[in-house]
């Protein structure tokens, strides 16, 4: 039940913080984060959708908006579409990251019994793995 409460509360609260501090949705932040972690700051849509836990359709809409804001660029190459983080996008991500990490710390990590973050990770890792395995790939 606590897990379900978290699942209900957390997304909304994280969204609010990101929106008011950086004008980004959680999902948009995840897109920028993944691109920034990648050597060429570039990924094909399909990989990006897997890395962000989102459907291709959701990603496509989201990337269109991010491109309109100048935070990413798209180019076609073969049967795939590559998305690249722009300088402006990188700046937006770097500006948003500390506040967001801090918010997660404030909302979650600080309230775990001391020293149990690793235990929590160990419990949830197999669940996350399973969900990732059966998630709808649309």
Partner DNA sequence: AAAGATTGATTGGTCAATCTTG
Partner DNA sequence: CAAGATTGACCAATCAATCTTT
Phi, psi of 74, rounded to the nearest 5 degrees = -125, 145
Q: What phi and psi values does residue 28 have, to the nearest 5 degrees?
A: -65, -40
Residue 81 in contact with DNA, rule: CB under 7 A: yes
Q: d(Cα 91, Cα 66) in Å, to the nearest integer? A: 13
Tokens of 16: 């609010």
Position 69 contacts DNA (CB under 7 A): no
In this structure, are residues 36 and 90 in contact, taking their beta carbons and an 8 Å threshold? yes
Q: Which of 46, 94, 101, 123 binds its own copies (CB under 8 A)?
A: 123
Of the residues 58, 69, 86, 103, which one makes contact with DNA according to CB under 7 A:
58
The yes or no reply on residue 39 touching its own copies (CB under 8 A) is no
64 binds, among DNA, its own copies, none (CB under 5 to 8 A by kind): DNA
Residue 75, strand partner residues: 82
Q: Is 23 left (phi over 0), alpha (psi -120 to 50) or beta?
A: left
Least spacing, CB of residue 62 vs its own copies, in Å: 14
Residues engaged in binding its own copies (CB under 8 A): 1-13, 16, 53, 104, 107-108, 111-113, 116, 119-132, 135-136
Residues engaged in binding DNA (CB under 7 A): 12, 16, 19, 25-27, 44-46, 54-65, 74, 76, 78-82, 136, 138
């Amino acid at each position: 039940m606590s897990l379900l409460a978290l699942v209900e509360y957390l997304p909304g609260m994280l969204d609010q913080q990101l929106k008011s501090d950086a004008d980004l949705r959680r999902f948009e932040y995840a897109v920028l984060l993944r691109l920034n972690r990648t050597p060429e700051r570039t990924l094909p849509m399909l990989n990006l959708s897997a890395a962000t836990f989102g459907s291709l359709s959701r990603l496509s809409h989201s990337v269109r908006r991010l491109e309109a804001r100048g935070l990413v660029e798209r180019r076609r190459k073969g049967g795939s579409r590559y998305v690249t983080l722009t300088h402006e996008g990188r700046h937006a991500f770097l500006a948003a990251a500390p506040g967001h990490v801090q918010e997660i710390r404030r909302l979650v990590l600080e309230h775990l019994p001391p020293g149990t973050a690793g235990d929590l990770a160990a419990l949830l890792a197999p669940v996350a793995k399973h969900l990732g395995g059966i998630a709808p790939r649309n």
